[in-house]
Each structure stands twice: as C-alpha cells, then as structure tokens.
Structure 1
Amino acid sequence: MTHPLGVSRPDLTVADLPTPEEVFNVARIGPKELVKYAVGPSLIALGISIGSGEWLLGPLNVGQYGFVGVGWVILVSALLQTFYNVECSRYVLATGETPVVGWGRVPPGWFLWVPLSVLVVIFAFIAGGWAASAGQGVYALVHGTIAPAGAEEPRLWAIALLVLVFVIAASARRISRALELANWVMVGAILLGLLAIDLFVVPFSLWWEGIRGFFTPAAPPAGITATQLGALAGFTALASGLNWYVMGHYRDKGYGMGFRAGFISGLRGGRKEILASGVTFPDDERNRGLWRRWYRLLLTDMWGVFFVGAMLGMLLPTILMAQAVALSGEKPTRANVPTFVAAALGDEYGRALFYVALALGVLILFSTQLGIFEAMVRVTTDAAHATSPRLRALIEGDPRRFYYPFMLVLLVIISIVIHLALPVGLVEWSANLSNLGALIYPFMLIYLNSKLPRPARPRPWHYVILILNFLFFGFFFVNFVADTFGAPLVTF
C-alpha cells in the first residue's frame, strides 16, 4: 500500500504506527517515563530559544525601552511560534519525513523548494552572531573584563566553541539524544541559575512589571525601530517562520512514523540508514488511537516544556536586565549587551556574581550555538540525502559520510563571517530573515497537512492560526526590508 502526497516525490509507503512503549522500550508511559524518555526534541529547540532572543534581543529592547509595548510582542510571538512548531511536527510524526524533505512535495516540486529552503536556513544563520556573542562571554570569563571593541580574541573563542560542537556531535552514538542530554543539563542550569539571581537582586515591583508587560497591549515605545522590534518577534521562542529547521529531531527521537524512518547516528554509533522517502499509517481504528497518543505526547512536549520554558527564558533575563539598568544608570548597547548584566552585577555585588552571570550568559549562548550549528548541517544532510540518488550511492546509504565533512566546511565559513560585524547586529539580521519564512512556509504546511491521513489532519481553526503567523511575522519582515532599503512602512 502507498499513500500519494503532493508532487515530485515518491508516494509514502504505509505501515502501522508503533506504540510509544515500543519506541521508548518501556512497559508503560507514566510521568517518570514521560520525562526520562518521551520529552526531548522540544529541549533542543528550547536550548536554541533561550539565547539570541532571550539573552540578547529581549534584554536589549527592554533595557532601552522598558516592558510596556515590548512585552506583548514577546507573548504573541511565543504563542504563534509554539502552535507553528506543533503543525510542523505533525507532518514529521505522520510521515517520518523532516520538513525540508516534505517541502519537496509542494508544487512545483522539490527542485525549487528543497534547495531554496536549505539556502534560506543557511543564509539566515550563517552570520554566526550567536557564536560571536558566546565568544565575547568566554573572553570576559577568562580575563575578568569586557572585551575591547574590535578585539580578535572573542572571535577565536567563538571558533573554539564551534569546534566543541563538532566534538559533541562526533562523540555521540545518536546525535539527537546527545543534544537532548546536553540541553537537559544546560537549560536546567540556566533557568535555575537565572531564577536564583533574580530572586536575590530583582525587587518584586520589577517582577510584576515584567509579567504585566506581557499582557498589556500597547503601541511600541517611541524610538524603537522596525528592525529591532522585528528581530525581537522573530527570535522570541525560536526563529518564527524557520522553526521547522529544528523539528526534524522528532524523526530521530522516533515519534510516530519517525520510528520507521531512521535517524542520523554519531561516529560512535552503528551505521544507520534513513529512508529516502517517508512512510505513513492506514486510517483504521488501531492507528487512529495510536495517533491520538502520539499527538498528546507532542502537545505535552511543545506546550508543557517549550512554551513554558521559552516564556520563563524571556522573563528572567529581561527583568534582570531592567535591574542592571537601574543599578548602573546606563542602558545596554548592541556592542555590550552580551556582558552588560554581568558588568552591572559585578559593580554592585562583587566579582563572584560577575563571574556567575558571565558563566550563565556563556551557557545560554552556547546552547543556542550548539542547536543552530548542528541544525544547519542536519537540514542540508536530510535534503541532499532525500533528493540525490547519486549522493546516496556515493555515501553508501550512510548519512554520516556527508554530515561530518559538511559540518567542517560550515565551521570554516562561519569562522570567516563572524569577523564582519558586531555580534548583536548579526543576530538582528538573522532574526529578521527568519521572519521571511513566515511569508512562505505556513501556506506550504497547510497544503501538506491537509493531505495527511485523515486522523492526522488539522482542524480548520489550525489553518487560521497559521495564517496569523503569516500576518504577524510577515509584517515585520516587510517592514524590515522597507527600513533597510529606504523608509519603513511604519515608524514608532
């Protein structure tokens, strides 16, 4: 049996959904098993999320303009992006195909959408602002002082961290699992560390102001630019229209039909092939029940872990930044925002807190660096492997033979690019390019998900929310383009 879906790609083969117990090798999925085995892909996305947006752009904008008029943008962005993540992941669970491969089923076909999607992701993130910002934090940790403007050493530290990402991926048995475990440690340490510092230094009035800012609709504050606000919207939670580039981890985790499709193993793992085309399930009573179970696990992972973590990840750094501004009497700039909080806390409370804040900042930015760098390599590997029979023959069906050489090539390119601009300027560029994806991919998702087996298809109101993603993030991208090449459509 096969299930036709879209154009220019083979029909999906049909097989039964596995049970969650079969995938995770447990007798039942209780609370303990849920945390230990089933939750995970959202942590990789969350590790990326609590970084460029939450540690750099959110605190930068709040530090300069306050909470009101900025906070509601954060909340709306997080809600829309989490819903968008669920819809991207729905396709992965139902077909075992990663989104970049699925785009090849949308007319006119893979020859347009697959290479274009790879180029959009690489072009958006290859600027490496996330890597350069982490390098600034490491420099301050090593030397006990903020790096001077234009210093070379922070960039060398950024390159060293890229090499560390390669080492982590190379030493893994199963790359997605290694990323999950790393993010369990990093995200847990980040949120607990930020909570402890905030409880120690931030007055209750600022906590309330930060929370109230999320729920207070107001015009953007005077002076903020379309580029700044669009970057904040784009990198709150994850990467707006380009969030799909991380959702392929549900395949590697074994969610739904991803269990039938395979995964990318590390150099220490055994040789593992990935299906060049996807597989889906029949519409019968047994599979309808299993689909509902998998979908509930997906909702738990996304709303219970990703959304909650993303909101905490934005609240805790932004109120800390607001307190740092109050303590220092200064406002952060694009040049000093990666280390601004640490410097202000160090001046007020001593060197110990300076180093603690710096270490948290480095951890936050490295978790972003780990997820983005690996995901660029993963997206390109999945796309090349699925669409090129010649490549599959050349690598003898082993994706690692493409994955690791390409990672080294990308490492060299990013090492060059990060010398070209201020880290936060690079991050703002990436965030606004992420909003470009919102003009394209919601409609492609509507096309694909409407053709899934009936139990997996979204309800009509899901399509409405995908259109809201298009309107909200698309507006910021159009305004960014107008602002870059002339006058913005809207000024604040």
Structure 2
Amino acid sequence: MSETPEPTGKGPEDQGRAPVEGTAEAAVTGTYALGVSRPDLPVTDLPTPEEVFGVRRIGPKELVKYALGPSLIALGISIGSGEWLLGPQAVGQFGFEGVGWIILVSALLQTLYNIECSRYVVATGEAPVVGWGRVPPGWFLWVPISVFLILFAFIAGGWAASAGEGLYALVHAELPPDDAEEPRLWAIALLVVVFLMAAAARRVSRTLELANWVMISIILITLLVLCVFLVPFGIWWDGITGFVTPAAPPEGITATQIGGLAGFTALASGLNWYVMGHYRDKGYGMGHRVGFIAGLRGRRVEMLPSGVTFPDDEKNRGLWKRWYRLLLTDMWAVFFAGAIIGMLLPTILMAHAVEISGQEVTQENVPTFVAGALDAEYGRWLFYIALILGVLILFTTQLGIFEAMVRVTTDAAHATSPRLRTLLEGDPRRFYYPFMLLLLVIIGVILHLALPVSLVQWSANMSNLGALLFPFMLMYLNSRLPRPARPRPWHYVILLLNFLFFGFFFLNFIADFIGDPLVTF
C-alpha cells in the first residue's frame, strides 16, 4: 500500500470505499482460514487512519471530528432504558447501597466485552453476526440463533413505548392515564421518524453518530445543570459512594429488577455485539475494505458478503496498534465515561425527586416520575424541561435499537444467502429499508401488550441470556485472528467473568419467572 495520501478535504461522510477487488492499494496477497462454514478471508494491508478519514494526521481535532463515533451510537442506546428507567427505578425504591455497585461492575465488564467484540470487527471487517457463522458447527446454526435472540430481546418495544409516554406528557402537559392508547401511537410515530432519518442519510452510521452527538450533548449538559442546582450534596455523595462501595443487593429487590439493571446498565450485556458492526461502517481497520450500508441519498456501495484480514508483518503490526488505540479511546473516553455519568446523574435526580415528592416509584410512573416531582416542587417550567429531557433520552435508545435490529438482520441475510444477494443486485439497501418498515409494523402491534417498563425489564434479562453463549464464541474467533490482533490471556478471563456475572442474573430471572428465584435478596 502506498504511503499516507494527501488529505482530500472530505470527511468520512463523503469518502468512497472500494471493495478489495477494486483497488490496487488493497492488492490481495493470499487468504487466511478462520473457523468453519464461511469463506477464507482475503489478506491485504490495513489502511491507515489518515487514509480512511481523509486527513493529513490524526490530532485531537481530527480524533473528535472523524475517528470517534461508533461508541456514541452504543452510548445513545445506553443512556435510555437502563439509565432513565431501570436504574432510577431501582434507586428510587431501594437507594444507592447495593445498587450502584452492580451498575459499576456491569459497566466495566460490558466495556471490556465491547472491546473484544470490536476487536474482531476491526481485524476482519465482518459484523459480529457474520463472524458467529465461523464458529462450529457453522453459520446455519449460529447466524439464525443470533438474529432470533436480538429480535426476541428487543422487539417487545418497551423502549419505544416509554418514549411515547414522555411525548404524550409533553404534548398534553400531564401524565398519561393508565392504559392510554395515545402514548403508543406517539411511540409508533417516533419509529417512523427513525425510518425517515435512515432514509434521508447518505451513510446510515454517520447520520446516527451526528444525531447522537447532538442529543447526548444536550442530555448530559442539561442533566448536569439540573443536578448541580437542584440535588443536595448529600445525595451526590450517596450516589458516588454507592457506585464504588461493594455491597449486597438491597433487601426486597427482585431477581427480575436486579437482572434488568445489570443487563441494561451500559448497554445490553451479552448482546452488546449487535451495535459493534458500526465500526465496520465507520471504516475502522479492515472495515474500510468491506463496505457499508448506504442511505437512500447516498451512492450505491458494494458491501462484501465476507470479511478481509491483514498479514502479520512489521508494517501491519504497527497499523493494528494504531487502530486498536483508537478503539480503546472510543470505548473508554466516550462509552464508559458517558455510561457512568449517564447513570449517575439520572439516579441522583430520581433520588431527589423521591425525597421531595414523598411518593413511591413504580413501573407505571417511572418514565415521567421526575417531571411530575419537579413540577410540584419548582414549577411548570421544570416539568417541561424534564419531559423534553426524558423524550430525548428514550429516543436515542429507540433510534439505536430499532436501526440495529434492522442492521443485524440485513448483515446476516446479505452474508449468508447468495440467492438474496443476486435479487438485491449487490445493494443491501433493497433489504434494509423494506425490512425496517415490516419491523415497524410488528413493533407497533407488540408494544400494546404490556407496561413499558415491564417490557424493558424483559428485554434486559433476555440480553443477559447472550452472556451464556457469545463470550465463548468470541474466545474462539479472537484466538484465531492474525497474531497481532489476538487478545492477551487476561482478556479471556474478562470474557469468562461476563459469562458468570450476567449469566447468573439470567438463570435467576428464569427461575423467578417459572417459580422461585435461585437467590432472593
């Protein structure tokens, strides 16, 4: 590959990306066998970050403007169902002791798990759902199971219904009555907004990044201002010490509540991989060689059905270290820091709302509880600010989850079905957008079936199910990557801890669902 090119003056939104066969700079030098039932990976050089992002060098400005981003999409999902609903509900009912510690451990384990999922994407350019097809016995088992688990976990639509409740309260200046139909119609309307955003994009991932930059900045700044001016120091101190002080779960909390809190703190525990494919579309590492899902306004881009990897030589070892450092920066500086701050601020605000209102937090009122409490104590203007904040928080979750379900299914179908690729004429958009419309209709029906928070708790505990499977599959794949990209031994220990921590909560949830939990608190 030639040395770093001159900057093009275009950001990644405008950068074209040719497939491996179409560029001399990406000349294939052989193939690399990885796993079973999927094609061998063509071997070619890693691109430089400067080549991918169209800049002369990656300084602080370029890092923020171009290189960071995929973790923002994950963070947008994170600051939602867990941080605005399950975490505040648990703290509002039981306090910080024994709850905050679970939040911190979950966030740490999930960030490390995300890095391992993304390691595979950066090294091969394959979305994880495609990579699972390389694990014995093969794609015919693991790809359908993986897609099913994602759809089964998130199709209930609790994240959408909760956003609809907040929007109803914002429009009518009052909390929705029990079993009201209109909040569900607002939830469906917001799903339509997500579809329109994806349709209007040139590159879907880039549009999601920019939307989350704006919304997450507004969310965190507004939360910080509210907490600084409204929340007493004592609650701040209880929140911070609760996060870092080991303690048993509080008495009276159920297996479902604590499993949901663990599962949806940070992201979605064992199912976090469903968002990590955005590193491919961002162009991280070998993702630059594979292609991406273009929006309807973008030009047609060929997306390879299988991945690409790099040779183990001095040049590519150095490039891998650079890409891996960018990945670590994105995950720790954006995702982990944002997830912890995004959980701390809503929970201390909820604790203050419980204190000033003297009321109990329940599944029914948690989406709008803070708004109602601030309204009664400080005036109508804070009611509207809290509702706008809640709608933004829950919409970022709705945006990320809805699009990711469509993305995972599209990636799986495109990679495993030659007949479908022929019908699509190499353009995955022909599957992506019709399937998004179909999913919109299905979710619109399902979200009528239960209370929003109970649907969210179900999704969170289904996310913990993934921790029983995917850490071991990830060990298999990452141990077979080119040597520079392979994990160190302690990374395998982290994956095992994910299995033990989140897997325990899933088994306890199932035992509670069918009879008596394994452990009571």
TM-score category of the 2 structures, normalised to the smaller one: over 0.9
* Partner of residue 85, structure 1: 114
Of 224, 229, 251, the residue aligned with 1:195 is: 224
Partner amino acid, structure 1, of 2:396: S
Within 5 Å, give how 1:232-311 maps onto structure 2.
232-311=261-340
* Partner of residue 67, structure 1: 96
Matched, 1:134 2:163: yes
Task: Work out the CA distance in 1 between the residues paired with 2:376 and 2:294.
Answer: 47
> Residues 163-186 of structure 1, C-alpha deviation per residue, up to 9 Å, x if partnerless?
000000000000000000000000
Query: Alpha-carbon deviation of 1:273?
Result: 1.2
> Residues 181-207 of structure 1, C-alpha deviation per residue, up to 9 Å, x if partnerless?
000000100000000111111011111
Matched, 1:5 2:38: no
* Partner of residue 401, structure 1: 430
Matched, 1:101 2:130: yes
Matched, 1:444 2:476: no
* Partner of residue 349, structure 1: 378
**Normalization by structure 2: what TM-score?**
0.94
Query: Alpha-carbon deviation of 1:67?
Result: 0.1
Matched, 1:367 2:400: no
Query: Alpha-carbon deviation of 1:413?
Result: 0.1
Matched, 1:471 2:500: yes
Superposition RMSD in Å: 0.3
Of 359, 362, 368, the residue aligned with 1:333 is: 362
* Partner of residue 7, structure 2: none
> Residues 222-276 of structure 1, C-alpha deviation per residue, up to 9 Å, x if partnerless?
1000110000000000000000000000000000000000000000000011111
Of 208, 215, 223, the residue aligned with 2:237 is: 208
Partner amino acid, structure 2, of 1:66: G
Task: Work out the CA distance in 1 between the residues paired with 2:382 and 2:280.
Answer: 41
Moved more, 217-226 or 370-379: 217-226
Matched, 1:312 2:360: no
> Residues 388-429 of structure 1, C-alpha deviation per residue, up to 9 Å, x if partnerless?
000000000000000000000000000000000000000000
Query: Alpha-carbon deviation of 1:216?
Result: 1.2
Within 5 Å, give how 1:147-186 maps onto structure 2.
147-186=176-215
Matched, 1:461 2:490: yes
Query: Alpha-carbon deviation of 1:330?
Result: 1.0
> Residues 53-86 of structure 1, C-alpha deviation per residue, up to 9 Å, x if partnerless?
0000000000000000101000000000000000
Partner amino acid, structure 2, of 1:297: L
Of 13, 17, 26, the residue aligned with 2:46 is: 17
Query: Alpha-carbon deviation of 1:215?
Result: 1.0
Query: Alpha-carbon deviation of 1:331?
Result: 1.7
SS of corresponding position for 1:280: coil
Matched, 1:124 2:156: no
Partner amino acid, structure 2, of 1:348: E
> Residues 126-150 of structure 1, C-alpha deviation per residue, up to 9 Å, x if partnerless?
0000000000000000000000000
Task: Work out the CA distance in 2 between the residues paired with 1:201 and 1:136.
Answer: 24
Of 301, 321, 328, the residue aligned with 2:350 is: 321
Query: Alpha-carbon deviation of 1:478?
Result: 0.3
Of 425, 437, 440, the residue aligned with 1:411 is: 440
Matched, 1:218 2:258: no
Query: Alpha-carbon deviation of 1:365?
Result: 0.1
**How many residue pairs were aligned?**
492
Partner amino acid, structure 2, of 1:263: F
Of 397, 421, 443, the residue aligned with 1:392 is: 421
Query: What is the aligned-residue identity percentage?
Result: 79
Within 5 Å, give how 1:370-385 maps onto structure 2.
370-385=399-414
Query: Alpha-carbon deviation of 1:385?
Result: 0.1
* Partner of residue 16, structure 2: none
SS of corresponding position for 1:146: coil
Query: Alpha-carbon deviation of 1:106?
Result: 0.1
SS of corresponding position for 2:42: strand
Task: Work out the CA distance in 2 between the residues paired with 1:227 and 1:65.
Answer: 14
Partner amino acid, structure 2, of 1:284: D
Task: Work out the CA distance in 2 between the residues paired with 1:46 and 1:126.
Answer: 20
Matched, 1:114 2:146: no
Task: Work out the CA distance in 2 between the residues paired with 1:35 and 1:477.
Answer: 37
Query: Alpha-carbon deviation of 1:117?
Result: 0.2
Task: Work out the CA distance in 2 between the residues paired with 1:467 and 1:318.
Answer: 29
Query: Alpha-carbon deviation of 1:6?
Result: 0.1
Partner amino acid, structure 2, of 1:52: S
* Partner of residue 453, structure 2: 424
Task: Work out the CA distance in 1 between the residues paired with 2:271 and 2:226.
Answer: 32
